[in-house]
Each structure stands twice: as structure tokens, then as C-alpha cells.
């Protein structure tokens, strides 16, 4: 095996490693990515896996979480410049960033948000939470956008605000689902002024005390999140045709989490709601034929459009 073959094998293994992380930890997200064309899929797995690893330094900390996150981040930034890494997740991310020419500032902003989670325990207003989500969610949408591609005649900048809104909608959905888990880690991602307006305290969250006040707080937050999904919706038709059904499926699945929260009467303090496997598969099946047809149409229109992933 030549040196080039060896590096290609290492890169392919890195992408497979990232896909395994996505499959294990992001079941709805991973299922939606199965609707992407094979050349796009590995890059989305790499972006997910890198975000997951960085997040785990914060949510499942070792003896020195700040040091661990700093060391990992420093190595990643150096490897992005060098173009290679011996760490499989960082290698796949380096390759993805360079292949799709993703702006480095998106990664820097994401890492800054992860670092802030080590010391920031809450957010006074929705505006403050939005500023945090720029790094933790908005830039995720901006990272994924070049991979998904845009429709002919649509500039990436035109689709960007909707990609940002969708990243925020997904993150806010997670925040509402994970209120109980997050407070156990010492963090609250519900705006403090909105909590106060409903008479809900951090102590109540920590004690897992459900009541009418918490229900109304959650009801209002669900409405906030749905408006973010509404802001994101016009962006889907702006995407490359073969990427749209992946985004539609992911939106259906994450929107389904909001429905499950409502179905549970907003009782998320002592349980973790989720979309059932049959419903996930039903969403996938509903989008599968449309995704396949979109790929066929693109191939017929431009038979040379397919490109190798390098993975």
C-alpha cells in the first residue's frame, strides 16, 4: 500500500467512525442524513461527531474539562492549518472544512460557546440566550449549509438566515426536552426573565417540581420554538433539490419532539420525551421516494455532477 493509499484508508475510517457516533447519539439526525446523497452524507456526520465530542467535554467532564476542551480545540485548529490529523473525528472535520471551504470563524465561535458552558449557568433574557446560541447552534446551520448546497441561482448568503433559524430551532427543541438533565448539570437554558414572569425558580427545576406555572412557561417556550421553525421554512426550497428531503425529515422529527412534550403535558423535569422508532421510520419512509427521485432528476440534468467524497 502506498502512502497515498494509506492516508485514503485512514480518512475513510475516520468518516466511518463519525458515522458511528452519529448513529449512536443522534438517532433522528442520523436517520435524516440517510436521505442525503452519498457524497454529502460523510461530511454531515463529521460535523455532528465533532460537535458531539466537544459537547461531551462539557456534559460528561473528566478531571479537567476546561483543560481537555482547550487541548482538543488547540489541536483541531492547528490541524486545520496543517490539513491532517491522527484523531479520527478531527481528521474528518479537517477534511470536511477544507473540502467545502467552511469559514474558520464558525468553528472558533462554536468552540467559544462550548467553553462558556463550563462557567455560565444561565441566561437572563432570550436575547442573551440567542447570543449564546450563535456559537452553539447558528454556526452549526452555517457549517452544514455548504455541504447541503443551494439551488441553482440561489446564493449561499440568501439561504443563510434560514439555516441559522433552523439550527436555533433544533437547539431550542433540545433545551426544552432536556430541562431536567441540564439543571442536574448546573445549567438552565430557559430565559430567567421569562421564568420569573411565570413564577418558576431554578430551585423548582432542581427539585423537579412540576406545576401549572411550569406548564405555562413551557407552553410559551414551545410557541417561541415553533416561530423559529417558521423562520427556517422558506430556506428549504433554496437548498439543492437532492438535500431538501433530509432537511424536511429532520424538521419533522425534531418538530415531533415538541409534539411529544405537549403530549406529555410538558412534564419534562423527571423524564426525557422522544419520538418513537415507528414514527421515525414513518417519516423516513415518507421522504425516501422523494429524495431518490430528486437524485435521479439531478443526475439526468447533469450527469457529471456527482463527485467523490474522498472518503
| pLDDT (tens place) for every residue of the chain, 311 residues total | 788 889 999 999 999 999 999 999 988 889 999 999 999 999 999 999 999 999 999 998 889 999 999 999 999 999 999 999 999 999 999 999 999 999 999 999 999 999 999 999 999 999 999 999 999 999 999 999 999 999 999 999 999 999 999 999 999 999 999 999 999 999 999 999 999 999 999 999 999 999 999 999 999 999 999 999 999 999 999 999 999 999 999 999 999 999 999 999 999 999 999 999 898 889 888 888 777 777 777 777 676 654 434 44
Beta bridge partners of 239: 150
CA-CA distance, 58 to 46, in Å (whole number)? 19
> Fold identical between 1-118 and 120-305?
yes
Show me where the domains of the chain are located: 1-118, 120-305
CA-CA distance, 5 to 38, in Å (whole number)? 21
CATH of region 1-118: 1.10.600.10
CA-CA distance, 187 to 203, in Å (whole number)? 12
Return the SS3 of 307: coil
Return the SS3 of 51: helix
Is pTM beyond 0.95? Reply is no
- What's the fold here for domain 120-305? Farnesyl Diphosphate Synthase (1.10.600)
Amino acid at each position: 500500500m502506498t502512502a497515498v493509499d494509506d492516508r485514503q484508508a485512514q480518512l475513510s475510517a475516520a468518516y466511518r467512525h463519525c458515522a458511528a457516533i452519529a448513529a449512536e447519539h443522534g438517532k433522528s439526525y442520523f436517520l435524516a442524513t440517510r436521505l442525503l446523497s452519498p457524497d454529502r452524507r460523510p461530511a454531515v456526520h463529521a460535523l455532528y461527531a465533532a460537535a458531539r465530542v466537544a459537547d461531551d467535554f462539557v456534559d460528561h467532564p473528566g478531571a479537567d474539562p476546561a483543560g481537555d476542551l482547550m487541548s482538543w480545540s488547540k489541536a483541531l485548529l492547528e490541524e486545520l492549518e496543517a490539513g491532517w490529523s491522527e484523531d479520527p473525528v478531527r481528521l474528518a472535520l479537517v477534511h470536511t472544512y477544507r473540502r467545502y471551504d467552511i469559514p474558520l470563524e464558525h468553528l472558533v465561535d462554536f468552540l467559544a460557546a462550548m467553553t462558556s458552558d463550563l462557567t455560565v449557568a444561565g441566561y437572563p433574557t432570550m436575547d442573551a440566550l440567542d447570543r449564546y446560541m450563535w456559537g452553539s447552534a447558528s454556526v452549526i446551520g452555517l457549517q452544514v449549509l455548504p455541504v447541503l448546497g443551494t439551488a441553482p441561482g440561489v446564493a449561499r448568503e440568501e439561504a443563510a438566515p434560514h439555516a441559522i433559524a433552523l439550527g436555533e430551532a433544533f437547539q431550542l427543541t433540545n433545551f426544552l426536552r432536556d430541562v431536567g438533565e441540564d439543571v442536574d448539570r448546573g445549567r438552565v437554558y430557559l430565559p430567567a426573565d421569562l421564568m420569573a414572569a411565570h413564577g418558576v425558580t431554578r430551585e423548582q427545576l432542581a427539585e423537579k417540581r412540576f406545576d401549572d406555572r411550569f406548564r405555562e412557561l413551557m407552553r410559551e417556550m414551545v410557541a417561541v420554538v415553533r416561530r423559529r421553525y417558521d423562520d427556517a421554512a422558506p430556506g428549504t426550497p433554496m437548498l439543492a433539490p437532492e438535500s431538501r428531503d433530509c432537511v424536511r425529515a429532520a424538521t419533522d422529527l425534531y418538530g415531533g419532539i415538541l409534539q411529544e412534550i405537549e403530549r406529555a403535558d410538558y412534564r419534562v423535569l423527571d423524564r426525557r420525551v422522544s419520538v418513537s422508532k415507528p414514527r421515525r421510520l414513518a417519516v423516513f419512509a415518507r421522504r425516501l421516494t422523494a429524495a431518490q427521485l430528486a437524485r435521479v432528476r439531478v443526475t439526468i440534468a447533469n450527469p457529471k455532477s456527482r463527485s467523490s467524497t474522498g472518503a
